[in-house]
Amino acid sequence: MKAYLALPAAFAVLSLASCENPAEKTANADVKGAVEKTADNAAGTKYVFTPASKIEFTGSKVTGKHDGGFKTFTGYFTVKDGVAVGNDHKVTIDMNSTFSDDEKLTGHLKSGDFFDVEKFPETTFDVTELKKNSDTAYTVSGNFKLHGVEKNISFPATVSQNGDAVSIKAEFDINRKDFGIVYAGQADNLIRDEVVIRLDLEAKPGA
């Protein structure tokens, strides 16, 4: 009898675990209208991304989650004495390079229901302000253009240096509907609005 009682309890625990929202464990990006960028090209060295850099995301629905990212992107940031300076920092993502942990989902993400990569082949993030909070902690703000919608987002990030390489790491979430991605999913398997974004960017002095 105890075994029969234990099985429903175990399934209930598994069900609750699968329904967790990954975005509840990350910082919410502050989102507002796109701002006019005032050039602040502080003296420094332009660092370009190395192949070790990663841009990944996690989306979820009521029954679970999926991880993905982008295989092709370019970018740079300006560094002086191991510290990111000014606002001459930019990331450009090739949306056709979208991937996920499920081949069928990857195709769906590229369709008009989500990224609509045929119509919007690039996503850009152009930094408008860097606020230094401590030796390694920053608040990064920039105009983020996704799915043809441009808004200014702010999120926490850490900056560190190891030899001639500088890394920027961040983990935060955005609301996809802020950028016109409104596909709801199936009635019994609704897709959550929040999407977690993870940045693990390494850069070295470039030409």
Question: Model confidence over 97-108: pLDDT tens digits?
Answer: 999 999 999 999
> What per-residue confidence (pLDDT) applies to 186?
79
The encoded tokens of residue 194 equal 């929040």
Separation CA 142–CA 90 (nearest Å): 9
Statement: residue 1 has pLDDT above 80: no
**Average pLDDT over all residues of the chain:** 89
The encoded tokens of residue 133 equal 């909070």
pTM: 0.86
Cα distances (angstroms) measured from residue 64 to each of 88, 175, 182, 184: 38, 18, 19, 15
Question: Model confidence over 42-95: pLDDT tens digits?
Answer: 778 999 999 999 999 999 988 889 999 999 999 999 988 878 888 899 999 999
Domains of the chain: 21-205 (2.40.128.110)
